[in-house]
């Protein structure tokens, strides 16, 4: 239990310490050392608890619960203050409603708010802790130098780095708390901390746009928070049958109809936090924040909390129409967000839409909730976290060097920043190509949906969704690998430190493929087995084939040696006109003209303006349907 408490409390301690550190070098030392301890502790957690079942800890403390309520009230006041300052009355209203509901809960059901075991750990929590502990803290390390450069590039932004790193570490602490909590009141507390943290981080630059987007994120997540409290009130009121506020008892409750309602409400909170449609706009708005914040929100924290809770409750959703409906919200989000990604040329918004799409896919798996799908969902969470963090950090580094985050401007990155380009290449491959992770999960999801009643709907959506996914990733990859002649190499001069986290995460993307049979057999399969009594696994032959493909991919670059000596180089074909290697050709009248290449964005077909509203409308209907269906089931 000490490790659990350490992982929750130590980041808070570091956060407080960082409030007093001004100098970048010192901050780097503090952050790097704490990242090492947090990462080390999460690995220790893996070694210590991976080989047993779920372990519960009483950790009973009236003081802690009281303190949490007090902090919640304090945060509500803070939101009201901020809302008043920036005249966002919706945020105030939601904060008041939420605080009132919490007070009501505390006063009306004081005897039902005690959990025997407040903390717990099982294999799924370990996976989440590893993601937060390793990826999250690597992002924090990267952020130190990044923020220094960021302020260098943006002198107009007020330097609030102390606050920035305080919130970042508080965020990590909250994520640990969230995945270790068995007491749903505690879980809700940490849930709210993540909401506030993301609000503060998104609004970091204090521009009008940043403030607006921060409030949008806040409002949408508060909406989910309200649903969460309502679920808690419902659970407390039906304590004898539902199991009250203790997660393990709720999940084990024999009365499936009673717990379905709170599950759907908490699932709704998960949908808002995971930025599924119609709530996707907050995650897109979040990209105004400095890039490490995006990396954090997209890969290891925040949205992962949303899908974490959905996957936790998926045994409750399994086989219900309400769960099916939630699954459809995810599936529709997957296909619509993937399609919109085609029309985006801003790297960060492509990444954001891809995150939304993948979260949708995870939600689809969780909502339908058979054992194979839960297995696929957890695998998706792991692979997505690794690859997406790499892509965000890479985009941030590229933006600092090239002064743009437009994919068109990344043309020829392989010449200009070769190391960076290779890492981005691996990250993108990790998102959609065999034998990398995300594809394994998609494949598993297709095989699982075939066996589900009405699963054909999901298969169709997956088939179209993965087709468009290939399109938008491959064209980005194409831009990176274009060998532009006479382009200057600009990689050097970039601060040295941020490379280390990038190298490590790149290694993790590859390691995740090579080690995935081990990850599956030691962590995911035992978890699924413990809950469903059955588990999915890929056949040995297929695993062998994928490892063979991976090996081939690693060996193939050696073939460059074969080509080195041989060839004669010619400029490209330009309709038979004399041309130069940097895409100039001899036009008429002795003029030299330049050719430029641009990717297709097919805005007419896949534009945001065309697809977002219908997608959001369908998702709203499906969410409402999930509530009605849960109500009917009761």
Partner 1 sequence: MNGLIGAVLFLILAPVAGGLIAGIDRKITARMQGRVGPPLLQPFYDVGKLFEKENVVVTTAQNFYVLAYLIFIALSGALFFAGGDLLLIVFAFTLAHVFLVLGAYAVHSPYSHIGAERELIQLMAYEPMVILAAVGLYMVTNSFYVADMVATTVPVILYLPGVFLGFVTILTIKLRKSPFDISTSHHAHQEIVKGITTEFSGSTLGQVEIAHWYENVFLLGFLYLFFSWNPVIGIIAVAITYAAEIFVDNVTARARWQAALKSGWLAAGVLGLVNLAILSYMMTGGV
Distance separating alpha carbons of residues 544 and 290, to the nearest angstrom? 41
Q: Which phi and psi (to 5°) does residue 255 adopt?
A: -90, 85
Nearer to partner 1 (CB atom), residue 214 or residue 391: 391
Stretch that binds partner 1, among 51-59, 169-177, 292-300, 566-574 (CB under 8 A): 566-574
- Contact residues for 539 (Cβ-Cβ < 8 A; gap 6+): none
User: According to the binding rule CB under 8 A, does residue 422 interact with partner 1?
Assistant: no
When asked if residue 383 is in the footprint of partner 1 (CB under 8 A), the reply is no
Residue placing its CB nearer to partner 1 in the complex, 190 or 432: 432
> Min. distance of Cβ 483 from partner 1 in angstroms?
4
d(CA 68, CA 106): 12
Among 564, 588, 589, 590, interactor with partner 1 by CB under 8 A? 564
| Contact (Cβ atoms closer than 8 angstroms) between residue 302 and residue 168 | no
* Backbone φ, ψ for residue 248 (5° rounding): -65, -35
CB nearer partner 1, residue 96 or residue 433: 433
Q: How far apart are alpha carbons 332 and 259 in whole angstroms?
A: 25
User: Is 589 among the residues that bind partner 1 (CB under 8 A)?
Assistant: no
Q: What is the smallest separation between the CB atom of 595 and partner 1, expressed in angstroms?
A: 5
- Least distance CB 422 / partner 1 (angstroms): 12
Q: Which of 479, 616, 623, 629 binds partner 1 (CB under 8 A)?
A: 479
Helices (H), 89-136: 89-108, 123-130
**Which residues are registered as beta bridge partners of 594?**
584
Kindly state the smallest distance separating residue 434's Cβ from partner 1, in Å.
4
The DSSP result for 403-468, as a single string, is S--BGGGGTTHHHHSHHHHHHHHHHHHHHHSTTSHHHHHHHHHHHHHTTSTTHHHHHHHHHHHHHH
When binding is defined by CB under 8 A, the residue of 574, 620, 625, 628 that contacts partner 1 is 574
Stretch that binds partner 1, among 129-137, 149-157, 363-371, 562-570 (CB under 8 A): 562-570
Q: How many residues bind partner 1 (CB under 8 A)?
A: 63
CA-wise closest residue to 398 among 298, 498, 510: 498
Selected from 16, 73, 456, 554, the binder of partner 1 by CB under 8 A is 456
For 628, residues 6+ apart whose C-beta sits below 8 A from its C-beta are none
Binding-site member from 81, 89, 104, 454 for partner 1 (CB under 8 A): 454
Ramachandran area for residue 480 (φ above 0: left; ψ -120 to 50: alpha; else beta): alpha
**Single residue of 237, 511, 515, 595 touching partner 1 by CB under 8 A:** 595
User: Is residue 540 near partner 1 by the rule CB under 8 A?
Assistant: no
CB 413 within 8 A of CB 522: no
Query: Is residue 554 part of the contact set for partner 1 (CB under 8 A)?
Result: no
**Binding segment toward partner 1, per CB under 8 A, in 37-45, 253-261, 283-291, 448-456:** 448-456
Residues 130-159 that bind partner 1 (CB under 8 A): none
What are the C-alpha distances in Å from 351 to residues 284, 291, 397?
9, 12, 15
Cβ distance 262 to 250 under 8 Å? yes
For the CB of residue 307, give the shortest distance to partner 1 in the complex, in Å: 23
Does position 441 bind partner 1 by CB under 8 A?
Answer: no
User: Using the rule CB under 8 A, which residue among 28, 86, 464, 499 binds partner 1?
Assistant: 464
- Point out which span in 202-210, 246-254, 259-267, 462-470 binds partner 1 (CB under 8 A): 462-470
Under the binding rule (CB under 8 A), the answer on residue 439 touching partner 1 is: yes
Single out the segment in contact with partner 1 by CB under 8 A; choices: 118-126, 161-169, 512-520, 597-605: 597-605
| The only residue of 116, 470, 534, 554 in contact with partner 1, by rule CB under 8 A | 470
- Separation CA 358–CA 370 (nearest Å): 18
Q: How far apart are CA 160 and CA 18, in angstroms?
A: 12
At 594, which helix (H) or strand (E)?
A: strand 592-594
A 10 A CB-CB count for 435 gives: 22
Helices (H), 86-183: 89-108, 123-130, 137-153, 161-180
Residue 569 binds partner 1, judged by CB under 8 A? yes
Residue 496: both structure tokens together: 């040295």
If binding is defined by CB under 8 A, does position 514 make contact with partner 1? no
Determine, following the binding rule CB under 8 A, whether residue 462 of this chain makes contact with partner 1.
yes
Task: Give the footprint of partner 1 on this chain (CB under 8 A).
Answer: 411-412, 414, 433-434, 439, 443, 446-447, 450, 453-454, 456, 459-460, 462-464, 466-468, 470-471, 474-475, 477-479, 481-485, 539, 541-542, 545-546, 549, 552, 556-557, 559-560, 562-564, 566-575, 581, 583, 595, 597, 599-600
């Amino acid at each position: 239990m000490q490790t659990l408490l350490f992982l929750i409390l130590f980041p808070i301690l570091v956060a407080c310490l960082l409030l007093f550190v001004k100098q970048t070098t010192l901050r780097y030392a503090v952050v790097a050392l704490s990242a090492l301890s947090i990462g080390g502790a999460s690995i220790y957690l893996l070694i210590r608890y991976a080989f047993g079942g779920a372990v519960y800890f009483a950790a009973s403390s009236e003081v802690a619960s009281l303190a949490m309520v007090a902090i919640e009230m304090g945060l509500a006041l803070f939101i009201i203050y901020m809302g008043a300052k920036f005249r966002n009355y919706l945020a105030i209203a939601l904060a008041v409603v939420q605080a009132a509901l919490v007070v009501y809960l505390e006063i009306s059901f004081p005897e039902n708010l005690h959990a025997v075991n407040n903390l717990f750990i099982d294999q799924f929590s370990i996976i989440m802790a590893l993601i937060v502990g390793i990826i999250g803290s690597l992002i924090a390390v990267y952020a130190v130098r990044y923020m220094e450069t960021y302020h260098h590039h943006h002198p107009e932004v007020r330097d609030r780095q102390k606050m920035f790193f305080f919130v970042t570490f508080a965020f990590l602490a909250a994520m640990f708390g969230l995945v270790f909590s068995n007491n749903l009141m505690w879980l809700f507390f940490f849930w709210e901390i993540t909401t506030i943290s993301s609000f503060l981080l998104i609004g970091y630059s204090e521009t009008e746009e940043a403030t607006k987007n921060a409030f949008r994120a806040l409002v949408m997540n508060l909406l989910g928070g309200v649903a969460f409290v309502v679920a808690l009130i419902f659970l407390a009121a039906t304590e004898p049958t539902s199991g009250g506020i203790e997660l393990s008892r709720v999940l084990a409750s024999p009365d499936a109809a009673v717990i379905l309602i709170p599950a759907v409400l908490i699932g709704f909170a998960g949908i808002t936090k995971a930025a599924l449609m119609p709530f996707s706009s907050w995650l897109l708005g979040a990209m105004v924040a400095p890039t490490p914040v995006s990396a954090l929100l997209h890969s290891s924290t925040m949205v992962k909390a949303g899908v974490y809770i959905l996957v936790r409750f998926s045994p409750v959703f399994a086989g219900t129409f309400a769960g099916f409906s939630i699954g459809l919200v995810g599936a529709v989000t997957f296909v619509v967000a993937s399609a919109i990604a085609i029309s985006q040329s801003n790297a960060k918004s492509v990444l954001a839409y891809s995150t939304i799409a993948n979260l949708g896919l995870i939600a689809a798996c969780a909502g339908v909730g058979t054992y194979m799908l839960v297995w696929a969902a957890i695998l998706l969470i792991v692979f997505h976290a690794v690859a997406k963090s790499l892509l965000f950090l890479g985009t941030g580094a590229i933006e600092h060097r090239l002064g743009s985050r437009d994919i068109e401007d990344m043309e020829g990155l392989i010449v200009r920043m070769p190391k960076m380009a290779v890492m981005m290449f691996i990250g993108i491959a990790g998102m959609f190509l065999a034998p990398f992770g995300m594809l394994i999960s998609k494949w598993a999801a297709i095989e699982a949906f075939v066996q589900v009643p009405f699963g054909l709907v999901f298969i169709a959506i997956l088939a179209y969704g993965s087709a468009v996914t290939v399109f938008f990733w491959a064209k980005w990859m194409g831009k990176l690998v274009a060998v532009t002649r006479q382009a200057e190499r600009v990689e050097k001069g970039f601060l040295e430190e941020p490379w280390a986290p990038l190298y490590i995460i790149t290694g993790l993307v590859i390691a995740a493929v090579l080690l995935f049979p081990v990850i599956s057999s030691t962590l995911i399969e035992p978890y699924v087995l413990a809950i469903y009594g059955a588990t999915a696994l890929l056949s040995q032959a297929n695993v062998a084939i994928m490892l063979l493909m991976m090996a081939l991919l690693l060996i193939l670059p050696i073939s460059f040696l074969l080509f080195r000596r041989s060839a004669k180089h010619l400029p490209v074909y330009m309709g038979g006109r004399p041309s130069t290697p940097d895409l100039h050709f001899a036009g008429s009248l002795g003029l030299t003209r330049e050719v430029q290449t641009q990717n297709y964005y097919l805005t007419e077909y896949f534009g945001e303006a065309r697809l977002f509203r219908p997608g959001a409308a369908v998702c709203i209907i499906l969410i409402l349907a999930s509530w009605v269906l849960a109500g009917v089931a009761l």
